[in-house]
Structure 1
């Protein structure tokens, strides 16, 4: 903390920063120490109005969209270079805001520039329009941005999510208004500053700050034509209601109580190590983390022992320490909810296994296992708490896994890969990983939909790029048609 300068929390409109008009919000804390850092700030209603108005005007006058991807690309490459210049600062700010170990936030921050470059290369390869086969007539499909677009980020991966959403939107020709989580505003300031230094035209990128009231004003405005949001199902449902009357295009990546099935023939030690790793990534605050483990009854006790051993090897400490494996959760309310969930599981009869000792300060939650034959499938856990329950058969495991709040991801562990593929295809989620729990996609052309209450839309670069633009066909009509 001694060498870390916190950026001002400013509103950015038209490529220029200005003071937030509301400056006395709740305190932001260092999750490692519980130390109060600064008060959060919020853009005023009039600032939000100006940001939306400018984004809409810039879209309508075509100052950005009519450049085409060839005209936009040099400025987007400049944005990538600017982000590369802020890697360490962004990594430290994200670690401080989220509690995620800096080794992980540094990986994210160091890839931000390359994220932009990869999106630009994809957009250049697609071009602005595609010629269709039409018996010699000129018929083109044009990719047209929907209009002013709201980008709403989560608190667990602030800069990575901001950069990914921003790069796809800008490459598609959209104008944007960004809003980070009020719990993690710091690094998005550097993203907005980088966009301004890249000479992206006036009005293309704006940044507003604040909580639910700011988000509500943003997503309910009729001039916002597309909304990309990553966050909780509760917030996503509110956005869907607010934006529905305007028929705004939605991409909502929400929460999910992701199951992991460990079959009787699985390598128990490998499954335990992978699930421990996956569940504790981002301090347990990863939307696709394995949260509830469904284990074949004959190997239940062996698995629990192996999972306990794997979790005990994690180095718990400050998120800003290079040696830390598991940091604190991001804020006090997150810690309190996890402790409440742990206590509720205990009252319901679960065996609670806590690993290590409580930390004296900060928002730390010990790695915890809750073992029970009956786990509420609707209890979504977002932190270092894993539930484990037995299954009587593979079919029984599938039935349990498909119950409750599920839809994003699932995990299968078995020594029989063909069987795992057959079982995995029965899971009502967008992605099933066999014998692993990595964060990265399994293929360069990976794609997955958000099922159930886990959202609207999906992952995969092709799908994400398509979200930010519609298709318009222009061409010479056929002659001598009967009707």
Structure 2
């Protein structure tokens, strides 16, 4: 059995194990409802946490509502809010080793992967602190009869819902922007990964964030539905499955609540005929099944020229087949477990579907026999995949990649766009300008040439059923604001330039 060197009672403060953070205080839940947190590497529970009921959700939303309506936070200047964000970021930075260990314990992310990506949380908070310090929250524009003052106001109370797979990095996108804009927030932490958001709340508390500005509860689907439906919530920012996103969109539409949705993906990597094989494999392989493929932007459809299909299939399958599957606490492990038994069943079902529909498995294709316990699946590559197969159309969210052959660039672009999703994508070529021209034709929110990158100052989000709106960059800040125009007559002091 893999090791499990995480001990919650010694590594986490007692208040992180027993309650929620509401109105600037650590509070006990309203009921005895609880859930076990299971380590995917051992299938054993290592903690029990409370689950919010309707009363807890109501208390959190009420605290956020009071803090927005009567508290100082939305009335502070951008630079003043930025100072709090910087203090939070510094405190979070001191806890990065703990947060990395939490990612491995809760979800099974290999330790090297967690160590590499956990710092994105402080990067996002720092970015939005800098943006809040310089952003034009108010500007004057001349009109025929005087001027108009354009005020960018915080939208209000925001519900932030980040998924279990990458709770901390994704939450940081939402939280940094929401707080910089002047919103107050309720964070719904998932029961599978409950501790990350509570550690963030601990940092906010130590940073002196005013009571009610940040509230954190642990809630299941029922608690999340109650939160989204509350009329006191002005904005919902959700990252998760497309199916759940559609339900949230309908709920928000009933009362015209603002909503940002970052949903599923079935991203395509287009390998052009002039791509150099070795650097392409080195850049592509890590992003086809990072973190056991449990990342929305994974490049799970690999489109290769038919004239180079055999060459690529053999080389790529050899790289993926050599990946080390095993204990996520081992620094040499490249593929850890899936997050849950549900995920294991889902991924094995898709592998069986691919086999039945006629695709050929070139490596992997089964549950790993290395351990008796743990949700381990062999990294799997399918060749001979056609665009109508289930494995080419649905998001698998596991270590499974499909190779699809094309005859010319027009067909490659058509195949890339032949999907309900549009979140990410890559183009590999020896000619960057050619790669840029192809990237412009792909209907997806983010495309990289010869690599895959995400930057805090660049918007991230999807076309089609991959979502609505953007996170990151100034666009992510604007998503938490409303524009108000106040017309003023000529000569008013508010219209004069300093």
Normalised-by-shorter TM-score class = over 0.9
Q: What is the SS of the residue equivalent to 2:86?
A: helix
Q: Deviation per CA, 1:258-283, whole angstroms, max 9, x where unpaired?
A: 11112222223333332211112222
| 1:461 maps onto 2:470 in alignment | no
* Distance in 1 (alpha carbons) for counterparts of 2:429 and 2:5: 48
Q: 2:111 aligns with which of 69, 91, 102?
A: 102
CA–CA distance in 2 between the matches of 1:323 and 1:182?
29
1:167, CA displacement in angstroms?
1.6
Give the deviation of 1:237 after TM superposition. Answer: 0.6
Pick closer, same or farther for the CA change 1:133–1:184 going to 2, 3 Å. same
SS state of the match for residue 224, structure 1?
coil
Say which SS state the counterpart of residue 251 (structure 1) adopts: strand
Identify which of 393, 402, 408 aligns with 2:417: 402
CA 1:111–1:445 in 2, change beyond 3 Å: closer, same or farther? closer
Contact map agreement 2:6 2:105 (CA 8 A) in 1: no
Unaligned runs of 5+ in 1: none
Contact 2:17–2:49 (8 Å) recurs in 1: no
SS of 2:238 mapped into structure 1: strand
For 2:494, the equivalent position in structure 1 comes to: none
| Structure 1 residue matching 2:227: 3-state secondary structure | helix
1:4 maps to 2:12: no
Tell me by how many angstroms 1:378 deviates: 2.4
TM-score using structure 1 length: 0.93
Separation in 1 of the partners of 2:334 and 2:461?
A: 30
| Count of paired positions | 476
- TM-superposed CA distance for 1:15, in Å, is 1.4
- Equivalent residue, structure 1, for 2:496: none
Partner residue, 1:426:
441
> CA, structure 1 residues 471+92, in 2 after alignment: closer, same or farther (shift >3 Å)?
same
- Distance of 1:266 and 1:228 partners within structure 2: 38
Q: How does 1:279-294 map to 2 (within 5 A)?
A: 279-294=288-303
Q: CA RMSD in A?
A: 2.1
Q: Render the CA deviation track for 1:305-329: whole Å, top value 9, x for unaligned.
A: 1111211332322222233222111
Partner residue of 2:281?
272
Does structure 2 retain, via aligned residues, the 8 Å contact 1:411–1:437? Answer: yes
TM-score (norm 2): 0.90
Provide the C-alpha distance between the structure 2 equivalents of 1:192 and 1:373, rounded to a whole number of angstroms.
Answer: 46
Number of the residue aligned with 1:359? 370
The secondary structure found in structure 1 opposite 2:458 is: coil
1:142 and 2:145 matched: no
| Residue number among 471, 474, 482 corresponding to 1:470 in the alignment | 482
The answer to whether the 8 A contact 2:470-2:479 is kept is: no
**Native 8 Å contact 1:24 1:39 kept in 2:** no
Rounded to whole Å, the distance in 2 between the matches of 1:210 and 1:445 is 31
Contact 2:173–2:471, Cα closer than 8 Å, also in 1: no
Q: 1:390: which partner in 2?
A: 405
Give the one of 210, 228, 237 matched to 2:219: 210
Asked whether the 8 Å contact 2:35–2:191 carries over to 1, the reply is no
Contact 2:149 2:488 in 1 (8 A): no
Conserved? CA contact 1:9–1:185, under 8 Å = no
